[in-house]
Structures are given as C-alpha cells and as structure tokens.
Structure 1
Amino acid sequence: MKQADLSISNEAEDDGSRQNDAPRRNGDYDDIRYNLLSDRTFLDIHGCTSRLAHYHGIDCKLSGSVYVVSEIEGALPLIHGVSGCAFHQRLSPRKLYSPVYTMACTNLVEEDIIYGGEEKLRHGIYDVYNRYRPKLIVVLPTCISGLMGEDVHSIIRDVKDDIPCNLVFVPSEGFAHRDHDSIDSIMQYVATSWKNTSQQFDFRGCGQVDMLASLAEQLMEEQDVIENSVNLESNGRYTYGFNLELQEVGRILGQMGVSINAVLPTTTVERIRQAPAAQLNIARSRTDKWAAYMRDEFGTDQIKKWPHNSGIEGTARFLQDVGSRLGLDGEAEAVIDVEKKRAAKDLAKIRRTLSGHSFAILSQNLIFNPHRMKVYLNDLMLPIKYICIDSLVLNRLKVSQETRDMMMKNMYGIFDEMTPGFQVLIDPSAEELHKVSKEVDYVLGEFITSPIHEKVSEIPVLDMSLLCNLLYRTSFSVIVELGRHLVQKINKPQINDRRLIVSRLKYNSPYYPMLDDPRISSSIGMWHGIWRATSSGGC
C-alpha cells in the first residue's frame, strides 16, 4: 500500500502517552503552582500567557479540537491540510508547556489542492493506524481542505471496515468559526446567564464544543443506565485545579451515594463510548451541545454549571441541585452541610487577616463574572472599596451599545444584592486609577492588568491570575486556597519603589499587551478589519 506523506513528530516511536501525562507534584496546590510556573517559563512573561496566546497567537478553531483529542487516552489527531497547520497546532493555549508530540498530517501540497486530496486522506488514515495502532483516529479538516470541498465523510465510511479502530470526523475548518456578528450575541448570552439560568445558546464555532459534540454523535452507544451515576464535563487535566476539583467532587458525590461514570473529555475511548450509562450529565454553561445530543438520543438528563454557581453558597446550591435530580435531597443536604462547616472553619483565620486591609479590584476580563465578587465579599469578607472594570476590549470587538448597556445593567443588578460600601468604576482614567491606588492598601489585578496599572500608579498589583479562574470550579477548597494565596501575597514584603522593565514599557491600552508602536497599531487595526469583514475568529 502506498504510504501517505505525513508530517509527524521526530519522536516517531512515541505511542502518544506523553501528551496525556498530567504533571505530578505533591499536593493539589503544588500542582496548580507548577502549571503556572510552566507557562511563565515557556513565554517568560507572567501567568496569563495562555490567555494571551489564545487571543493573539494560537487562535484557530482547530486548536480547540486538537486539545480535546490530546485529553483522550489512545486517541490521535490526523490533520487534513498543509503541514503548517499541524505544526502550529502542536501547541495549545491550555498547555503551552506540553506540546502534542504525536500528530499526523496529510501534508497537502499545491498539486493536491488542484486535483484533490481525498486519496491522500485515505492513505493517511491507513498509515496512521499502521504506525501508531491508536484506539481512535480523529480526522480534523483545515480551511484549505474545507474550501476544496473534500468529502471526508465518504472516505471514513469507505475505510472504517478495514481499520480496527474508531474513526471520528470533526468540522474543525477555521472558516466554519462563528462570524463577527455572533460576538455580540455571545456577550448578550453572557450577560443574560448572570441572572437567567434557563438561557439557551448555541456556542457556535468553538473547537472544544464541536469536538465534544462529534464524540457524542459518532462514538457513544446505547447503554444500560447505572443508577445515581453522572458524567462530569471538565476543561481538561492541563487546566488549573483539575485534580483538586475532581478529587473533591468525587469525594462529595461519593458520600451522597453518586458515582462518576466518566470525566469528559479526560478519559479513555471506551469510557466515552459508555457515557450514556450515566443517569445525569453535568455540563458547563456554554458547552452543553454534547449533553443536549445525549438527552435527545439516549434520554440522559442534564444539569448546567452556571456563573452564579461559584463561591461557598453557589457551589452548595449546585451540588444540592445535583442531588435533587437524582432523588438524593436528604443525602446531599447532610454532606454539603459538613463541607460548608469545614470550609468556614478553614476560612476563619484567613478572614481575620484580610479584614485588617482595604482593597480595590482591577479587572480587564472580557466576560467579567460579577458573581466572583460574592467570593471576595461573602466568602473572604474582603473590605473592598473600589471595583474597576476595563471594558475597552468590548469596544475593540465592536460589541453594540445595546448589549453593553445590558451587561452593565445586569452587572449592577447583581452588585446591588451584595454588601454595600464599594464603588464601581467603568473604564477609569489613569488619574482615577492613581487616586484609587492611593486610597487602598492593596490592588488585586486579574489577568493582564498589572504592568499597565503599575506604570500609572507606581503601586504594585497583587496578581490573582493564579487562582481567579478556579472560582468557576465546583469546589469549596478552591475558595480556601484563594484566601491562603492572598494572605501569602500580603505577608510577603512589598517593594513599593520597584521599577520592573515590563512596567516601564509604553503599551497600547486597548490592545494590551501590544506596545504603543504605530506599526503594531496599524497591523492590529488591519487584522481586525479583515476579521470583521470575513467572519473568521478565535478558537
């Protein structure tokens, strides 16, 4: 049989297991810190490198699909496109320090683009199986193979009886991404989801969403349902707090009498096939396309994890809802009560330390979750004087004024339900930020705000990038870890007269971390103009 021309790693004998090896360290919190250190080491900037790479670098829909494949034991991606696509997608924003070592590509060249690459894909599937003997081959088309109109479904149907492994096709072409108009719809969905848990939304074009949906549609099979069992969706083993959440949720559910059937997508091919054996799917609020398919096809009930299900009370309510869906109200209530008391005991000393200081929150998060403030105010009991939110990124993405007004209205509505005493500043000026910094003891920065703010205020910002994303986890422990992390930051001597090089650079504020250079600004403006005109986007 003719060998396909494959672009494969130099480590040709690698069986793919390296890409599924999670970092091993003593203790969950050490594992979280190790992940952050790995990201910092790779790009040598700061802890938000994966977000920066997602926004400004590895931003193809294919990236999300490849990442999900790398989470599945025994699975291997086959990129149907040019070698450059496969090369760049070895790195995922979710695990920059751990490339996908084993990745195959049909390596389309000019002749294939003119005359068609379907035979090359056919031979590529055979060759990947003969080389690696995977349990699952996931065929991922690229922009060029999609534009060529390659009939990938027919190729898979033709070869599936000859290949003793599973084959799955995912619509991963970059141009199949959501168009620019959907950004406004997404922001409307985000704002509505803060208050309305019945909100439904088709999160089109996300590689992870489409990959999970394809697994449900093409791999899962009818099963006998296991009573009081659940499938738990996760962002993956390489994201902060994965082990911490899984261990805690597994323990709490186990005490309630509930077993975990599968953690999706971080599991084996066989577990994915048997996912319909679960009685209930626990899905995240934006990625439940797979769960909706299982509901319609297999009758599997589902429950969503919403933004308001964060913090001690939010987590407790969500776990109680899970118990209720399974008819275990009494068992759930007893277990959750014990967990809340344990968390309160651990937080008592942390609260006493934090209560002696004043704080300001500085956020440049695209979809700032106002429910996170409940964690700071109600769980950690921080004396917060100011909440400063930079929404310039919404301007850059051309979110409509109507949508922005709705976001502000819903956000203020949630803030009104909280403990009064803090002031909210939207898009504060440099002078306002400087004034805020002088009126508080500490400024808590999230994601990518620290260098700009330190340049303006000359006051260090406590970087909360490490744990702020953990607040979306279904966990009581992450709240305690967040408090401990903050106490450590406060107890560490602060050097108020430091002059970091990264803080002395002149940044383009709307496009941070880009420098304020007319050549860079022109390039960014041209790129976003093309993006808005051609309906392409991020992964």
Structure 2
Amino acid sequence: MNRSIESLSCAYQPISMIVHAMACQPAKNAGALMAVNAIADAIPLIHGPMGCAALRKMNSFSVYTLFDRTPCTDLKEMDIVFGAENRLKKAIVETYERYRPSLIVVIPTCPSDMIGDDIASAVRQAKREVGCEVVYSTGELIKGRPIGYHDVLCSLFDQLLPEDLEIKKIEGSVNLITFPIHSSDNKMDEMVEILEEIGIEVNKIFFHNTTLKDIYDLPKAELNITDIPSPWLKQMKERFSIPYYATSSLDNPTDVEEINPHGMENSARVFLEIAELLGKRERALKVVEKRKREAKE
C-alpha cells in the first residue's frame, strides 16, 4: 500500500510541476482574471474550453491565492467549427442565476478568438434575460503589462462609462489607482490621511474593496493618482477631462528615484506636486513640514 502511494506521488510530481509552470505563464486571460477578481461584486465568465478555466484557477501573479470562481462556456470541438454564440448567451444567464453578481465580465480565450464569435451580439441578447451589467473584453492586445489586464479595464471604461454619462464633479477630489495584487492597505490609509489634511478629498480607491458602483463614480474626481500610467487612464483623460498624476515612471529606467520614489524628501515631493495640480500647494507645504517634524521626533 505504501509503495503504491509512493509510486503515485512520484508519478504526480512532474505532472504537477508542469501544470503549475503553465499556470504561472501570464497569458491574457490570467491578467483579465486578476482585474475582474479585484471587483467584489463581479464574476468572470471565460469563453473557452474547460481547461482554460481550470488551469487559470492558479493565480499567475500571486501563486499562494486561487481564482476560486472561474465559470466557463466549456467549448467543444463542434463549437470551434460552427460557432458558440448561443452557448455564450446561455452561459451568461446560468452564471447570473448561480452567482447573482452585479457585473459579469466575459473573457475570451485563444479558441474563441480564432472562431470569431460575435460576442457583442451574444452579450446584448443575454442582457435582456439577466438583472446585472454584462461587459465583454474585446480580446485586443492593448499595450501594457500584464497582458489582458488593460484589455479588461479599457472594456469596462468603454462599456460602462459612455461619453454622455451625467457626472456631478466633486471639487478638489482625487481617485487613488492601485494594482490589485499590491498589499497597499496601510500605505493607502496614510496617503488618504495626508491628502485629507491638505484639503483633498479621496473619491475612490481603485482597487480597494471595489464594486460596480465605485466604477460608475470614478469620473466624479478631478484627478487620478496612479503608480504607473495605464491606457484606460489616458482614455479617461480624453473622455472626461480627468488628468492623471503618476508617482512612478519607467521613462528613465536608470533613475531609481523616478521609478520608485521613496524616502522623506521624495514622498514630500509627490504630495506637493499633487497639491499644486489642485491649487492647494500653500496648504500642502504646511502639512508636509509638520509631517517631517513629526517623523524626525
């Protein structure tokens, strides 16, 4: 009996290593899943074979966590030949009935890209039968890492925030844009505290317990603050005239302080630059000097 278990263990080990290595390859549906799973009341729906969903339960960007909810359309060979729009429509309805989310995001895969399904049409038809928003990732390879992550964010922006959206701006407010896998709660808490002391209201922290309503509220801010510029933030600037301030930049990879500003002086510089964009530099100078004194005591 022990020998059987030992033999099985030896046989399983190389297979598990291969599977895990494949899951750690950041394909576009892995980046897409990371974005969708950062929205608390959203569910991803993978439009592809069962293997695409099963393999991606292993998070390529955080191997100690799993994507526990990855429903899929379970494409078969016949679907690849004849198309799978009806299967997608049915899967959207079933996903809603099972999970009751506020948002379903359809994530295409390589097989669904190859057969050229009219995903937009299937989504429009399915939306008549469900009580939630349904967004589909276009599957386009939008420049930026991780692959697939920016595709989803741009799709959310395009399909949920149209140009004619009525917006009531919150004067002097900002959005803090974070990366889903960064453990930034403590950092965000301190940043919010300092910004509010300067007189800058934080509209939304995206991603931080983010919901569908938070996405609708993003255009209310006057400035987006991010670590590294993203394509969807550039779209927000063009559509809603919301500029963004990036605390980091990869334009000059040899400048360590530009890539990752750290230390007291660089932190002070970031807050002063943000305040200047919102016309609050004088107040910010007093707050920054006070914080410096407190840190040195």
Work out whether the TM-score is over 0.5.
yes
Pair 1:71 & 2:38 matched = yes
Deviation at 1:223, TM superposition (A): 1.4
Cα separation, 1, equivalents of 2:226 and 2:177: 5
Pair 1:209 & 2:150 matched = yes
Change (3 A) 1:330 1:224: same
Cα separation, 2, equivalents of 1:162 and 1:314: 52
Aligned partner of residue 215 in structure 2, secondary structure: helix
Aligned length: 264
Larger radius of gyration: 1
Deviation at 1:127, TM superposition (A): 0.6
Change (3 A) 1:286 1:296: closer
Deviation at 1:61, TM superposition (A): 1.3
Pair 1:230 & 2:174 matched = yes
The alignment's C-alpha RMSD in Å is: 2.1
Pair 1:162 & 2:139 matched = no
Q: Report the equivalent of 1:290.
A: 232
Q: Is the CA contact 2:24–2:59 (under 8 Å) kept in the aligned structure 1?
A: no
**Equivalent residues in 2 for 1:351-370, closer than 5 Å:** none
Deviation at 1:338, TM superposition (A): 2.4
Q: Is the CA contact 2:45–2:73 (under 8 Å) kept in the aligned structure 1?
A: yes
Please give the per-residue CA displacement for 1:257-303, whole angstroms capped at 9, x wherever unaligned. 1122112233111010111011111123242x111111111121221
Q: Is the CA contact 1:177–1:205 (under 8 Å) kept in the aligned structure 2?
A: no
Q: Which runs of 4+ in 1 moved over 4 A?
A: 53-56
Deviation at 1:125, TM superposition (A): 0.5
Which residue of 271, 288, 296 maps to 1:319? 271
Q: Report the equivalent of 2:120.
A: 153
Aligned partner of residue 101 in structure 1, secondary structure: coil
1:234 corresponds to which letter in structure 2? T
Please give the per-residue CA displacement for 1:383-408, whole angstroms capped at 9, x wherever unaligned. xxxxxxxxxxxxxxxxxxxxxxxxxx
Q: Is the CA contact 2:141–2:151 (under 8 Å) kept in the aligned structure 1?
A: no
Which residue of 307, 310, 334 maps to 2:261? 310
**Equivalent residues in 2 for 1:49-448, closer than 5 Å:** 57-172=24-139, 176-177=140-141, 202-203=143-144, 206-220=147-161, 221-236=165-180, 238-240=181-183, 242-266=184-208, 267-287=210-230, 289-307=231-249, 308=258, 310-312=261-263, 313-345=265-297
Aligned partner of residue 104 in structure 1, secondary structure: coil
1:243 corresponds to which letter in structure 2? D
Aligned partner of residue 144 in structure 1, secondary structure: helix
Deviation at 1:327, TM superposition (A): 0.8
Q: TM-score, normalised by structure 1?
A: 0.47
Cα separation, 1, equivalents of 2:102 and 2:41: 5
Q: Is the CA contact 1:212–1:265 (under 8 Å) kept in the aligned structure 2?
A: no
Cα separation, 2, equivalents of 1:159 and 1:344: 60
Question: Gapped runs of 5+ residues in structure 2?
Answer: 1-19, 250-257
Cα separation, 1, equivalents of 2:182 and 2:291: 24
Cα separation, 2, equivalents of 1:281 and 1:322: 10
Change (3 A) 1:230 1:329: same
Aligned partner of residue 203 in structure 1, secondary structure: coil
Aligned partner of residue 33 in structure 2, secondary structure: helix
Change (3 A) 1:217 1:90: same
1:301 corresponds to which letter in structure 2? P
Q: Is the CA contact 1:73–1:268 (under 8 Å) kept in the aligned structure 2?
A: yes
Please give the per-residue CA displacement for 1:220-250, whole angstroms capped at 9, x wherever unaligned. 34411001111111012x423x112111111
How much identity, in percent, do the aligned residues show? Answer: 32
Deviation at 1:109, TM superposition (A): 0.9
